[in-house]
């Protein structure tokens, strides 16, 4: 029996590509350039499995028109709001993701952003590289103390909990959070955290607000003009979740007008585009979607996909099926 024919939309860690080439008839995107929606639509008609990443776009249009060959989308990433799940299901296509393995590294990046924006690390490095530092003085580049402050977390899943643990036990921070469902108080206490009733309750209490909720229609622009106004004037926003959770135009206005003090961002509304006005701001730390970018985590994510599509083609239920 011929091996299933699969396509990777981008280059993956070499160790994972090796395993995929051994188990499947694998085609790799050797140029490692983003595929257009037309190219992805063509791939759905030519391959038994397509393995997209969170930067690919699979709207309903790519599934339209029939003649679909693909039976499974093995997504490289936890989030899958870039895939029209209803359209995929209508074509009988299974969808899997890669939960769990990137929890610690994404929480680490959120902590990096919080520390960097609070202590003006990005500004300081730019000043050094530009040869503009005049030496130490008592009033130079004063930031905000982190230890003992209140951090508010929106979304208390795996990553939200890991971030809470770092904040509370690493920096003695008071942790409050909003979660769509109720979390057992004893479970929340394991992370030094307590649940509040609304997003607004968290925003008014927190010195730092960190987003750890899913993207997609339900949470699109969860952080908007009204909610930035609800934050403390000296507060900071951290986003390692999804770009569409934040109304980017409203965030830029809030930063320019001093409604909030700063932001640390790893994700953006229209990646890889980052607005000029956002890049021009000194009170923002900007990272290029590095949340899961460690060798260990990216390999583990890839092997999650390998396990999912292997089980699928062997007639077993994929462990990380979302549709």
Indicate if the pLDDT at residue 254 is higher than 90: yes
User: What is the rounded end-to-end Cα distance, in angstroms, of the chain?
Assistant: 27
Q: Give the pLDDT confidence score for residue 198 in this predicted structure.
A: 98
Q: Give the pLDDT confidence score for residue 146 in this predicted structure.
A: 98
Is 289 annotated in the active site? yes
Q: Give the pLDDT confidence score for residue 222 in this predicted structure.
A: 98
- Strand, coil or helix: what is 249? helix
Mean pLDDT, residues 139-159 taken together: 98
Per-residue exposure over 206-230, b if at least 16 CB sit within 10 Å of its own CB, e if not: bbbbbbbbbbbeebeebbeeebbeb
pLDDT digits (tens, 9 = 90+) for 286-298: 999 999 999 999 9
Q: Tell me which of 71, 221, 271, 321 is the catalytic residue.
A: 271
| Distances, alpha carbon 111 to alpha carbons 6, 150, 229, in Å | 37, 14, 24
**For the domain bounded by 103-286, which CATH number is listed?**
3.40.50.720
Q: Tell me which of 220, 221, 289, 321 is the catalytic residue.
A: 289
Mean pLDDT, residues 89-97 taken together: 97
pLDDT digits (tens, 9 = 90+) for 264-274: 999 999 999 99
| Cβ 189 vs Cβ 165: under 8 Å | no
Domain limits, CATH 3.40.50.720, in the chain: 5-101+295-313, 103-286
Indicate if the pLDDT at residue 65 is higher than 90: no
Mean pLDDT, residues 213-240 taken together: 96
Instruction: Write down the mean pLDDT value for the chain.
Output: 97
Nearest-angstrom CA–CA distance, 8 and 14: 12
pLDDT digits (tens, 9 = 90+) for 173-192: 999 999 999 999 999 999 99
Chain length of the chain: 323
Mean pLDDT, residues 151-161 taken together: 98
Assigned architecture for domain 5-101+295-313: 3-Layer(aba) Sandwich (3.40)
| Cβ 188 vs Cβ 156: under 8 Å | yes
CB atoms within 10 A of CB 189: 11
Q: Give the pLDDT confidence score for residue 1 in this predicted structure.
A: 77
Q: Give the pLDDT confidence score for residue 217 in this predicted structure.
A: 85
pLDDT digits (tens, 9 = 90+) for 17-45: 999 999 999 999 999 999 999 999 999 99
Q: Tell me which of 120, 166, 242, 298 is the catalytic residue.
A: 242
Q: Give the pLDDT confidence score for residue 216 in this predicted structure.
A: 85
């Amino acid at each position: 029996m011929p091996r299933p024919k699969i396509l990777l939309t981008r280059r993956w860690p070499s160790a994972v590509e090796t395993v995929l080439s051994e188990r499947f008839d694998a085609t790799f995107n050797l140029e490692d350039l983003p595929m257009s929606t037309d190219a992805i639509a063509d791939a759905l008609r030519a391959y038994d499995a397509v393995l997209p990443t969170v930067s690919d776009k699979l709207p309903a249009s790519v599934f339209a028109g029939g003649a679909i060959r693909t039976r499974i989308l093995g997504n490289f990433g936890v989030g899958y709001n870039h895939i029209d799940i209803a359209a995929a299901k209508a074509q009988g296509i299974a969808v899997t993701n890669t939960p769990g393995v990137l929890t610690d590294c994404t929480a680490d990046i959120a902590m990096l952003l919080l520390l960097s924006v609070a202590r003006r690390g990005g500004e300081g490095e730019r000043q050094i590289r530009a040869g503009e530092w005049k030496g130490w003085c008592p009033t130079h580049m004063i930031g905000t103390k982190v230890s003992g402050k209140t951090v508010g977390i929106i979304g208390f899943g795996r990553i939200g909990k890991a971030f809470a643990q770092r904040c509370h036990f690493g920096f003695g921070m008071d942790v409050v959070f909003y979660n769509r469902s109720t979390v057992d108080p004893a479970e929340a206490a394991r992370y030094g955290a307590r649940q509040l009733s609304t997003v607004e309750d968290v925003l008014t209490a927190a010195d730092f607000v960190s987003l750890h909720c899913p993207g997609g229609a339900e949470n699109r622009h969860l952080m908007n003009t009204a909610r930035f106004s609800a934050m403390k004037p000296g507060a900071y926003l951290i986003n390692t979740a999804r770009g569409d959770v934040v109304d980017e135009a409203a965030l830029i206005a809030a930063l320019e007008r001093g409604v909030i003090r700063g932001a640390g961002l790893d994700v953006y509304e229209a990646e890889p585009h980052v607005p000029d006005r956002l890049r021009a701001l000194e009170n923002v730390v900007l990272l290029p979607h590095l949340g899961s970018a460690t060798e260990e985590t990216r390999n583990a994510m890839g092997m999650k996909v390998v396990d999912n599509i292997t089980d699928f083609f062997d007639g077993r239920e994929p462990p990380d099926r979302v549709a």
